[in-house]
A and B are shown apart, each in its own frame.
Chain A
């Protein structure tokens, strides 16, 4: 059975692979793959270097020898993407899942996640990898994305220049962690809305001032209270001393008056006109001051 491959290529999402057999029967298959369309020149060059391994993708069909070169082209496309898709798969080795919550973070200002954004993401990952020693030659093409969902979540791997193996997870993880902030800022997101599952975010250490702030304020208020208390006590003591002095003065004055003679309305009695008076003996004398009860 000769099978033609007639594939409609999408950048992302779903691909309909339509298999047309020699009797023009069309078999539709929906397949989630990512196809890269290379410039035709590059592709011809690659064809000569490309190794075909038939057991990589179970969906690879065995091909008869006499197919059209155009079909070969598409076949190579398919296989290239199949190999690549194999490297990047959910739960593949050294693959990381990324989850974005753009609408949660930005609300009305949310942008649509399209291929350009993916390109930017791949660029950021490549940039992070380039900062790792020994990996300065990482290109954007080495970063593979797959399984993009509507959630906006996808998996990615970083391959080495030969595109056969993926870079170890630790290197990728440390690279991402070092540049996490910059990656977040590029997408206007933060650690919670741009999640790299399995890459824990470094928690920001709390800023501890050398002297706790509360002690400073406590010290200020304590001093104010002490000063106010001291002032009040001192003024109270002064007031009492003045009162004591006054009352002792009054005492002295009263004693003086007693000796002088009695005073009525602060007028010494002696100055009053006492003539023409008789002492009335009917009343008590000075000695008996108080009548008994």
Chain B
């Protein structure tokens, strides 16, 4: 679009349209509508013959400034017409209040529950300190490049995931749609963890803590049978919180207590997100910083607990032979990948509210290092708590053995201690062989290693193991409140990111945002998610939760990120993207990122994807852990057919978006071309 010039007169003062951008008096004419380094301040104004008017347009005058218009004077002012387009331009994209809010939002999204309950488990499984080696290598090789890619795409395209990928290539809008679908699934099932966190938090204000004692049975002669067989913390989790059914087929009814907590959790999320994604920055201050406060308090408390050093030594003793185990490397790669939250579209959404000149390379490094450091920090805390719990249980076991021996042989009270136990056992075996052989089967073998070896991850760690450790501390109510508050902050921070990933494309789309205000869109989204989430509050809800947790996002995300990387590097063009990035942020793009984006990361993604695919195929029928109330422990069962169908549907609905949308776009374009041919 060339600029119209409407000199009413041949004086330099031209009057005309509404929006006037004056040239500096008598001097070198500045560029009109120009911002950033794409303009050439000292020279001519060149018209951009682009279809869209954008802030970076350069405008060309048909004459040089120092020349005079035929019959007129020198050009001193240039106006721009077209009010409506200008009005649209004035409504520029909202931005973060300050760049720190963006960093905190990314940190609070990336630092989530996985750092607290998955990383310590992996550390323990793969030999403690030596797991850090594959972890950091994967961070540098896979985590940072992919994180930088997503932030850069978001910052460059300045749109949510659907719009961004459609800009990269119209056929790749499906990648954005797949991201939105995966984020929707995640948002649906992730918030139930927050609901459980709320439930435990509210129950922490009692003395004694409800999970520290077993309830009495009907006639008050003993404790409930299920509670006796399992432990009081397991009973509280499986019976009082979940009211779990014996298998996934028995759905049962919706439990009103978790349902209420779920509604509250969604109201919290709605409250934080209703003003739009860029306002999340204010909430991000709390959700990013408060968990660190609690972690530091817990670190100090944990390290001073009796037996904490046992756990720490166990964790950090490196078992170097685990480095040769390929599963360690694969799990390290997976952990980095999911911990940073790549592929959901959240990072693109957050970065789209950045200023274009924002240095996202610096922010990438900050966010990824903070994320990994938090993982290690929280695993130190977790292991000191583990050590305390294991030592406590070990000493309990020893005391039981001592009591049994003291009572059977009527030894003096206090004579048997942990140190002389073995000697006395030998003496008793030789002196009273018959009686000793009677007692022997009842004696448990107490081992500290066995206690420490019980590696747990996921909800079991947070809600069973930790609560067991907390109930043995002094002032357990305080520690319980702090701990669940921290879990809630972490969970809500991640939820905000997920909801933003779904919300940003919706508010970006013209169709919706013209009919409904932002608050209504976010309200509808939260309502729909809450309604679907009520499924997880049924008696069999925990089994469906496990299905979603294990299968809904894993494969799809790997595929999405793989396609993203290939799209940016090969469809859009790595050189073009690099040049635009350099122009935008006015800093050079290091060769390291280019190599990673083009070669290494895609190869890693392909490797991971193939590994998981083959793992699922080779493992045959999928199985799950069901709680057996009569035995008081978990048993393995097979998934019924309809559950397998749901799993397949989950994976298909997100991965199929990519080819389907590509196909749809292709068909639409062919139809349009076909329709336009007769005209041409």
Contacts and interface: CB of A to CB of B under 8 A. Distances in A.
Q: Do A and B make up one complex?
A: yes
Given A263-B15, A278-B71, A291-B4, A151 B274 contact: no
Contacts of A293: 1, 49, 51
B6 A283 contact: yes
B69 interface: yes
A67 B357 CA distance: 121
Given A218-B260, A228-B271, A229-B271, A264 B406 contact: no
B16 A262 contact: yes
Interface stretch (A10-18, A25-33, A100-108, A175-183): A100-108
A211 interface: no
Contacts, number: 145
Given A263-B18, A280-B72, A206 B413 contact: no
A89 to B, nearest CB: 16
Interface in B201-225: 202-203, 205-206, 213, 215-216, 220-223
Contacts of B20: 264-265
Interface in A171-219: 200, 202-203, 205-206, 213-215, 217-218
Interface string B258-279: 0011001001101100110000
Interface string A33-69: 0000000000000000000000000000000000000
Contacts of B77: 264
A222 B261 CA distance: 9
A173 B370 CA distance: 65
Given A104-B414, A226-B267, A290-B1, A205 B220 contact: yes
Given A233-B274, A278-B9, A291-B4, A203 B216 contact: yes
Contact of B81 (A152, A261, A289): A289
A262 B17 CA distance: 6
B228 to A, nearest CB: 13
Contact of A225 (B17, B223, B267, B414): B267
Given A263-B15, A264-B77, A282-B70, A103 B414 contact: yes
A280 B410 CA distance: 122
A240 B517 contact: yes
B15 A269 contact: yes
A110 B414 CA distance: 10
Interface in A143-159: 149-153
A236 B202 contact: no
A277 interface: yes
A284 B70 CA distance: 13
Interface residues of A, number: 55
Contacts of A277: 9-11
Interface in A236-293: 236-237, 240, 254, 257, 261-265, 269, 272, 274, 277-280, 282-284, 286, 289-291, 293
Nearest to B264: A222
Contacts of A284: 4-6
A244 B220 CA distance: 68
Given A152-B413, A206-B216, A232 B15 contact: no
Contacts of B220: 202-203, 205
Nearest to B415: A150
Contacts of B199: 214
A265 B14 CA distance: 10
Contact of B261 (A99, A218, A257, A279): A218
A221 interface: yes
A151 B205 CA distance: 41
Contacts of B14: 264
Given A226-B267, A236-B517, A257 B216 contact: no
Instruction: Across the A-B interface, give the 9 residue pairs with the lowest CB-CB distance, nearest first.
Output: A103-B414, A269-B15, A214-B202, A277-B9, A264-B15, A150-B412, A151-B410, A149-B410, A217-B202
13 contacts: A99-B407, A214-B203, A221-B264, A225-B268, A229-B274, A236-B517, A263-B15, A263-B18, A265-B22, A283-B6, A284-B5, A289-B4, A293-B49
Interface of A: 99-104, 110, 149-153, 200, 202-203, 205-206, 213-215, 217-218, 221-222, 225-226, 228-229, 232-233, 236-237, 240, 254, 257, 261-265, 269, 272, 274, 277-280, 282-284, 286, 289-291, 293
Interface of B: 1-2, 4-11, 13-18, 20, 22, 49, 51, 69-72, 77, 79, 81-83, 198-199, 202-203, 205-206, 213, 215-216, 220-223, 260-261, 264, 267-268, 270-271, 274-275, 403, 406-407, 410-414, 517-519
